[in-house]
Structure 1
Amino acid sequence: MTDYGHDLLFGTFLTPSAAQPQAAVALTQVSEQAGLDLATFQDHPYQPAFLDSWTLLSYVAARTERIRLSLNVANLPLRQPAVLARSAASLDLLTGGRVELGLGAGAFWEAIEAMGASRLTPGQGVKALTEAIEIIRGIWADDVREPLRVAGDFHHVDGAKRGPAPAHDIGIWLGAYKPKMLALTGRTADGWLPSLAYLKPGDLTRGNTAIDAAATAAGRPPGAVRRLLNITGTFAARSGGLLQGPVSQWVAELTELALTEGMSGFILGTDDPAVIQQYGKEVAPAVREAVAAERQARVEREAARAVQPQDPASAQATGSSNRATSGADVTPAAAGSAPAAEPSASRLGLSPTPDDGRRLSSQRPFDEATRPHYTPPTPDAAYTDQGRAVGQHLIDVHDALRAELDTLLDVVGQVVAGVRSVGSARSEINKMTMRQNNWTLGAYCAAYCTTVTGHHSLEDASIFPHLATADEALEPVIDRLTAEHHTIHEVLEGVDKALVALGGDPSRIADVQEAVHVLADTLLSHLSYEEIELVEPLARLGFYPGQV
């Protein structure tokens, strides 16, 4: 699992069409109004159907106030590095620090040659880009007294005056795919900016590995390189593949990309203002919230381990104290409903979270005793470190859900007991990682429910089909887990209904507590069952084909 800890960026990748020159300007303004961080434009100076992207960038900078701007990516063979450096620094100064710089080694060489530049081999392109980055950074370094001299084979300056310095440290983000470009990214760049459409399964992991190795060899921390991703997708009522489905699916899939692949920038290619609005107002805030929750949960888990290391056999501490003291009778689960973890998981060195068997409610939305179980086909299976990380990630994601549920139970229980007022609960919830702008008990519950639904949507849309295809013996378990997702969704709707009723009658907090108790019983049982059945297959098969 890789997460470099960067703040998240969300942006758009807009078409600089010359046929409708104001369209890209208007779409940039829509992006800003939707709360997005970044607007970017492709750069093809040889394409007469497009506006010149640097001219467009300067124009939209004057028509916007907050949003950051970048070429995605600048066509270096047709943009002289020293001039490009001064252009970027000048616009950054004029905008108060809103410019970033995407760079590419060049493509479509026949069109580039037709514009008067020389064709370069892939190796020459990497060398030219290396020289260009040195020149660009050298121009920006106006605190250095000596003139800039770079004796490059493809780009060179001999005594160029430095300056101006940009208003902020402009990020140099490279569109890189091949090994030499990935190594250059790790050695010198501030960001990696590939397009998801050009990647095959496993390319993000392999790219990150190559960048990390190059950064480490150059004496840089891998986290010095931000990981961004150009994406495309469609909002729809039903899932049709990656980023093809409802908002909850988008949230779940982008959250997974952030937490497992280290992506911290998601740039959506679209010229549809309605899609931009939905992306900025619904997807981006929810992904930020989910990633922040998981990061905070990790910090809390590490702090807890540092204070008192746990025995794996008692790993399910999360939620147990509040489940026992939340004001409800605690009853044991049905016999046989909490099977022991498979021995293979122990050989993995991972500990699926057991079901402690306690229940807060007498309601049973599904019969745990009828669950099918999976036996790994090979008792001597070999696992890679990456495979183990995949299995552990499932546990980590579930731990975040358990930690937030623990807090939810505690807050509701205190309000019911009269120990905490609703206003005091609001103050407490305001400190939590999983929250919405409306600081109410109901808003917090709703945010939690959204996160759970998003997690399940990702599993149903991509992870589960992959596992069932890779190992047919998993099909009964996958079918049962999918059915339980639907049941949990109904339980979540019950929480929503109780919250609506609470809004009209504050005395109905007990109904909310009962609904949350049912959610706790159902969700914790399901998470444990899923870990026990799937940690080993995930470690062996990965989240997607070719991952491990």
Structure 2
Amino acid sequence: MTDYGHELLFGAFITPAARPPTHAVELAVAAERAGLDLVTFQDHPYQPAFLDTWTLLSYVAARTRRVRLSGNVINLPLRHPAVLARAAASLDLLSGGRFELGIGAGGFWDAIAAMGGPRRSPGQAVEALGEAIEIIRELWATEKRGGVHFDGEHYRLEGAKRGPAPAHGVGIWVGAYKPRMLRLTGRVADGWLPSLPYLPGGPAALAEMNRRIDEGAASAGRDPSAVRRLLNIPEHSLSVGRPRRWAGELAELSLEYGVSGFILMTDDVASLELFAAEVAPATRELVAAGRAR
């Protein structure tokens, strides 16, 4: 049993479909109106059926006032980390501190290469992500003097100026599944953001994957609880139509596997409203009771 003690978050994973162009925006507004904490969008810049996720995030930030926003997850190979650092800080400042940086190492390498991006092996993808996170954090560190110099295997900076600093401590949440990426998450990330359908063996796999993250954290002298555990959950995998039973399933994921962020994968307004109005408060109640015991 693992509970890392984080406050629970409930969010939406919305498809950034380009047609109709404002549909994803209206779903995000509906999610905020319903009371959800977080709105996220997948990022596939090579997919012409999707809006550009960064443009969409910026537009949604201007249309909302309270809800937090994140990519789920941002495609690193097609977004240079130095530019990404400035974009993330800018959006956080403009939104009043509502942005979190979900980021991934990439995976659809043929499509990435077709757009002019690098084709990386699994090991190279892990190395590049580690370099990118270091670069992003250095560019945000405006309290340090001098420019940022970085000479890595995949990225190079020659005195890049620091800043702007984000409005708040932007969390870097990594989409990870394999052992090396999980250990990297434990060493350097603020959160882990996988999707339930991709877990090998379903929810039971969370125990072993958490162990690898915790090992990575320990190797870097970090408390494993420094890494928030989030989970994208497809609507069909839960007890749809039975909010209390649904809440029980989520509470078990929280108390047994340490998940504290539940992101519903749906483009249905009614499902988002049910999730926010009934499932989220019932889950919070059950988790609070479990922690009290």
Q: Same fold (TM over 0.5)?
A: yes
1:123 matched to which residue of 2?
123
1:273 aligns to 2:275 (yes or no): no
Aligned partner of 2:89 in structure 1 is: 89
Match of 2:178 in 1: 178
Q: Residue 313 of structure 1 aligns with which residue?
A: none
1-side partners of 2:72 and 2:121: how far apart? 21
The yes-or-no answer on 1:203 pairing with 2:205 is: yes
Counterpart of 1:248 in structure 2 is: 244
Structure 1 runs (4+) deviating above 3 angstroms are 241-245
1:233 maps to what in 2?
235
Unpaired runs of at least 5, structure 1:
235-240, 299-548
Offset, 1:217: 1.4
- SS of match in other structure, 2:99: coil
**For residues 427-465 of structure 1, what are the alpha-carbon distances to aligned partners after superposition, in whole Å with 9 as ceiling and x for unaligned?**
xxxxxxxxxxxxxxxxxxxxxxxxxxxxxxxxxxxxxxx
Rounded to whole Å, the distance in 2 between the matches of 1:77 and 1:24 is: 24
Name the CA distance, whole Å, in 2 between partners of 1:243 and 1:53: 30
AA at the equivalent of 1:223:
S
User: Which residue, 280, 285, 298 being the options, matches 2:281?
Assistant: 285
Q: Find the counterpart in structure 2 of residue 410 from structure 1.
A: none
Q: Which runs of 5+ in 2 are unaligned?
A: none
Q: Secondary structure at the match of 1:264?
A: strand
For each residue in 1:249-276, what CA deviation from the matched residue of structure 2 results, as whole angstroms up to 9, or x when unmatched?
1100000000000000000000000000
TM-score (norm 2): 0.97
Match of 1:223 among 225, 229, 234: 225
RMSD of aligned alpha carbons: 1.0
Cα contact 1:131–1:156 (8 A) shared by 2:
no
Equivalence for 1:13: 13
Q: Distance in 1 between matches of 2:261 and 2:155?
A: 30
Which residue of 290, 294, 297 corresponds with 2:290? 294
Residues in 2 aligned to 1:53 and 1:214: alpha-carbon distance in whole angstroms: 30
Please give the alpha-carbon distance, in whole angstroms, between the structure 1 residues aligned to 2:146 and 2:239. Answer: 50
SS at match of 1:101: strand
Contact kept in structure 2, 1:57 and 1:69, CA below 8 Å: yes
* Residue 242 of structure 1: how far off its partner (Å): 4.2
Q: Deviations over 1:163-213 (max 9, x none)?
A: 010000000000000000000000000000110011114310011001111
Structure 1 pair 242/19, CA: closer, same or farther in 2 (3 Å)? closer
Deviation at 1:243, TM superposition (A): 3.7
Partner of 2:214: 212
State yes or no: 1:51 paired with 2:57: no
> Does 2:65 align with 1:69?
no
2:255 to 259, 262, 267: 259
- Asked whether the equivalents of residues 17 and 51 of structure 1 are also in contact (C-alpha less than 8 Å), the reply is yes
What's 1:60 paired with?
A: 60
Q: Decide which structure has greater strand share.
A: 2
* SS of aligned partner of 1:90: helix
Amino acid at match of 2:275: Y
Deviations 1:415-437 (A, max 9, x none): xxxxxxxxxxxxxxxxxxxxxxx
Paired residue type of 2:106: G
Partner of 1:40: 40
Whole-angstrom CA distance in 2 between matches of 1:35 and 1:242 = 20
Shift in Å at residue 244 of structure 1?
Answer: 4.5
Question: What secondary structure, in the 3-state scheme, does the structure 2 residue paired with 1:100 have?
Answer: strand
Q: Superposition pairs for residues 457-536 of structure 1, below 5 Å? A: none
Q: Is the 8 A contact 1:149 1:157 kept in 2?
A: yes
Is 1:141 paired with 2:141?
A: yes
The one-character-per-residue Cα deviations of 1:317-349 (angstroms, maximum 9, x if unpaired) are xxxxxxxxxxxxxxxxxxxxxxxxxxxxxxxxx
CA contact (8 A) 1:134 1:150 kept: no
Q: Which amino acid aligns with 2:280?
A: A
Determine helix, strand or coil for the equivalent of 1:227.
Answer: strand
- Aligned partners of 2:276, 2:11: CA distance in 1, in Å? 8
For the residue of structure 1 that corresponds to 2:88, the secondary structure is helix
How far apart are residue 294 of structure 1 and its match? Answer: 1.9
One-letter amino acid matched to 1:208: N
The residue type paired with residue 264 of structure 1 is S
Structure with the bigger RCO (C-alpha within 8 Å, sep 6+) is 2
TM-score, with structure 1 as normaliser: 0.52
Separation of aligned partners in 1, 2:240 and 2:52: 32
* 1:232 and 1:243 in contact (8 A); partners too: no
Distance in 2 of aligned mates of 1:243 and 1:261: 19
The percentage of counterpart residues that share the same residue type is 65
What is the CA–CA distance in structure 2 between the aligned matches of 1:123 and 1:38, rounded to whole Å? 31
